[in-house]
Amino acid sequence: MRSSVKLGSVFGVPIGLNFSWFLTFGFVVLTLAIRVYPDIFPDSSTWLYWLMGVISGVLFFASILTHEMAHSLIAKAYGIPVKGITLFIFGGVSQITREAARPLAEFIMAFAGPATSILLAGVFGLLWWLTGGAEDEPLPVVLEWLWLMNLFLGAFNLTPGFPMDGGRILRSVLWGVTGNYRLSTHWASRIGQLMAYGLMLAGFAGMIRLIPFLDPVGSLWLIVLGMFLDSAARQSWRQVRTLEFLKAFSARDVMTADFSTSEAATTISEVAAGHPRALRSGGVFVVEDERVVGLVQGEALRSLKRDGWQTTPIGKLMTPTSEVRVVGPDEDAASILQTLESEDLSCVPVVEGGRLLGVVTREDVARLLAGHRELTT
Ligand SMILES: [Zn+2]
């Protein structure tokens, strides 16, 4: 999920909005301002309904951000890098780059979100109670809506199917009890798919007016949400199988041993002419007196405009060896793929005892996976 609008960082976690979020935000504010609040106090002014709608909407999405922040901060505490939090059409998502290594860590990471929502429901509920809980005053009505929504958010996320938090909790418990990560993921994602079908079915029933309180927009939203959850559940299961397949290979099996090298002073155009593929998809090692001093990754190159290629020496784009992420020859391909993805690298050098053995590029891993898919489909 890409952020289209970046809002800045909180506790070192970048926060952003996907364009699809504006649709949901607009829908929430509109529903509150033109339907929900005018129904509760019919004789007030339009601007008050809109003001209450906007305040409710902003605080609701701030609550969702707080829920996601709880997942992200626990992940960081376990040493798992977090790329950021994005709000989108179905709420929020934390881009946590790796799965937890142990069931307990996964349990705590997953539970932190719903627990935060329920805590927020308690805080808004307490404020609602302190303001008297009147049904005809703006502040208590907004607070009441907020505690109800947070309670709903916490409860909905606890439903036990992947990719909901409840599905992760279920997987961590099954994983802890059986010790079988694969089987636990299989069950949690199957239940997730069943839930998704249930939502789609409810949506279709709403469409043909079988469920009286569901309007066409709500029904359509349920169908789309169901489709999204179904594909997310399938994807998490596919990802587990992919990583499992890659675990059987080591860096030594996957790496390319004839890596490309260049002198630091050589211009990028010259390197591009000599090693077109390495520059595009992998990396070029920079050597000085036959010693490797740095690495230029595909990303660094893409950050430079093409008209600078003629004059820029490749040494200018390199990351010095001391800062390059390397792996040992026995590290498995699954963990290498996760490193490439979580650190946004195009390749990672394979080093043993200070000696460069080769390089594993994303393409190397993709090729291995493509072969696997041909065999299994
Ligand atoms: Zn969550």
**Which DSSP string corresponds to 83-104?**
EEEEEETTEEEEEE-S--SSHH
Asked whether 230 and 196 are in contact (CB, 8 A), the reply is yes
Dist. CA 116 → ligand 1 center (Å): 9
DSSP state of 80: -
Write down the pTM of the prediction.
0.75
Token duo for residue 265: 């002073």
Calculate what percentage of the chain has a pLDDT beyond 70: 95
CA 250, CA 247: separation in Å to the nearest integer? 7
Q: What pLDDT is attached to residue 278?
A: 65
Average per-residue pLDDT for the chain: 85
In this prediction, residue 2 carries a pLDDT of: 67
- Rounded to whole angstroms, the Cα distance separating 269 from 41 reads 70
Confidence band, pLDDT 50/70/90 cuts, at residue 6 = confident
How would DSSP label each residue in 149-167?
Answer: HHHHHHHHHTSSSTTSHHH
- Residue 156 vs residue 236, higher pLDDT: 156
Q: Average pLDDT of 7-23?
A: 88
Ligand 1 centre distance from Cα of residue 11 (Å): 18
Q: Taking 90 as the threshold, does the pLDDT of residue 239 lie above it?
A: no
Residue 364 confidence (pLDDT) above 90: no
What separation in Å is there between the alpha carbon of 138 and the centre of ligand 1?
A: 30
For residue 67, what pLDDT band results from cuts at 50, 70 and 90? Answer: very high
Structure tokens at 180: 């079988």
Query: How far is the centre of ligand 1, averaged over its atoms, from the C-alpha of 299 (Å)?
Result: 31
Contact 14, 2 (CB under 8 A): no
163 Cα–ligand 1 center, Å:
9
pLDDT band at 3 (very low <50, low <70, confident <90, very high): low
> What are the beta bridge partners of residue 213?
none
- The residue that leads in pLDDT, 245 or 344, is 245
Q: How far is the CA of 68 from the centre of ligand 1 (A)?
A: 6
User: What's the confidence (pLDDT) of residue 176?
Assistant: 93
- Report the alpha-carbon distance of residue 298 to residue 138 in Å, rounded: 55
What Å distances lie between residue 354 and 159, 177, 291, 321, 331, CA to CA?
49, 42, 11, 11, 16
301 versus 201: the higher-pLDDT residue is 201
Give pLDDT tens digits for 85-102: 998 888 888 888 777 889
Query: How many whole angstroms from 215 Cα to the centroid of ligand 1?
Result: 27
Cβ atoms < 10 Å from Cβ of 49: 21
pLDDT tens, 123-175? 999 999 999 877 778 888 899 999 999 999 999 899 888 888 999 999 999 99
Highest mean pLDDT among 24-33, 112-121, 181-190, 302-311: 112-121
- Residue 120 Cα to ligand 1 midpoint, Å, equals 14
Q: Which of 34-38, 242-246, 354-358, 359-363 has the lowest mean pLDDT?
A: 354-358
Q: Residue 377 above 50 pLDDT? A: no
How does residue 282 score in pLDDT terms, banded at 50, 70 and 90? low
Environment of ion ligand 1 (residues, CB < 5 A): 113, 157, 165
Cα-to-centroid distance, 186 and ligand 1 (Å):
20
**What tokens were used for 299?**
């990303």
Query: Of the candidates 301, 292, 302, 373, which has an alpha carbon nearest to the alpha carbon of residue 326?
Result: 292
3-state helix, strand, coil in the chain (%, to 5): 60, 15, 20
Q: Lowest mean pLDDT: which of 59-73, 238-252, 276-290, 326-340?
A: 276-290
More confident residue, 303 or 188: 188
